[in-house]
Structure 1
């Protein structure tokens, strides 16, 4: 999927309001949203770095995506940033090594906890970040035909070739584009209702506009 859709999805799923029954207690929703957004961005970080360096060098788009993207260096970096085992390990370490442990009740009083324990705020944010990255990778896995990543690195270099591509019309990309746009609209509505802050809503409007901006850029570039 497009990066902005991953970010919207991660934020909608993991940046839950404090009133939600499974919300992470003691952390503001905006802080959780930042962790979710960063986690959703991490798998595509190598692509943005590659694209930025290439554009600074004046490399045309066709060469970026036909040569640079498939070069050994950028493929290896992409394997790291799209590694399911790595993000699972981060999540497990955050859960097991969360330092001080507390409970929902003990956050509100000095009473001994009587329900399952939850990790400290820093460990919780690490869990949100790794979970958002995992969500990105898992939703990318079935949507790349011949441009996927070895998502099980370093255990395996195997790359799944899906019959569906999120962008290539030859592999149902035109169908998925409609599905993704509808999904993005739903996520934007969810987040608009959840976040009442004016600056957050401005960001959501920019996110909505980015779909037209990105589509226009690719149309002009190719």
Structure 2
């Protein structure tokens, strides 16, 4: 799934209107599994000027990058983190770990050839899903609009939940815009709108 969707789902599921720390932890947990990709790709695209086709067509699939993705996308490690957080009864760390696990649960069935080894360190096996959130060869043209609809539904919930927190309303609107902007751009340039 797209990272803005993960943020929205994580905050909807584990954020709390009465606790900015818990909400921030839920957002962080929803982001962390994608953070290494942003750092690695950003470094190569922005700093080094590496061609995007090389970054996403070769480097993404390299053993070096996949080794990193195994760590921050591990059900095993995040499950241990959630167990420890629950033992400590830390609402902040529970929200962080649970949001990261939700991220993985949503990604697991929606990645085809770009799948990650979600069960490391137990195994490096990857579930190659017949469905993709983005690749039209694997129903991305169906999953994408469903994702957008679900995100917008969650944004409506968050808009109501955080009515007393203007910064969260701005953040919710920004995340919704980030989620739907590729659709709008695609329609403007290719859909004859």
TM-score (norm 1): 0.79
Q: Alignment partner of 1:159: what SS? A: coil
* Alpha-carbon shift at residue 211 of structure 1 (Å): 2.3
Report the secondary structure of 1:69's partner residue. helix
Moved over 6 A (4+): none
Pick from 125, 134, 141 the counterpart of residue 167 of structure 1: 134
Is residue 42 of structure 2 the alignment partner of residue 52 of structure 1? yes
Shift, 1:147, TM fit:
0.5
Alignment of 1:1-222 (within 5 A): 1-17=1-17, 28-55=18-45, 56-96=47-87, 98=88, 119=89, 123-196=90-163, 197-214=165-182, 216=185
Deviation at 1:72, TM superposition (A): 1.0
The structure whose Rg is larger is 1
Structure 1 residues 51-102: Cα deviation after superposition (integer angstroms, max 9, x where no partner): 1111111012111110110111110000101000101111112222x2xxxx
List runs of 5+ in structure 1 lacking aligned partners: 18-27, 99-118
Cα distance in structure 2, aligned partners of 1:211 and 1:183: 11
Give the TM-score normalised by the residue count of structure 2.
0.91
- Distance of 1:127 and 1:209 partners within structure 2: 28
Q: 1:29/1:5 Cα in 2 relative to 1: closer, same or farther (>3 Å)?
A: same
CA contact (8 A) 2:85 2:94 kept: yes
**What secondary structure, in the 3-state scheme, does the structure 2 residue paired with 1:157 have?**
coil
Aligned-pair RMSD on alpha carbons? Answer: 1.7
Query: 2 CA distance for matches of 1:71 and 1:2?
Result: 21
Deviates more, 1:206-215 or 1:173-182: 206-215
Match of 1:102 in 2: none
Q: Deviations over 1:18-63 (max 9, x none)?
A: xxxxxxxxxx432211000000001101110111111111012111
More helix by share: 2
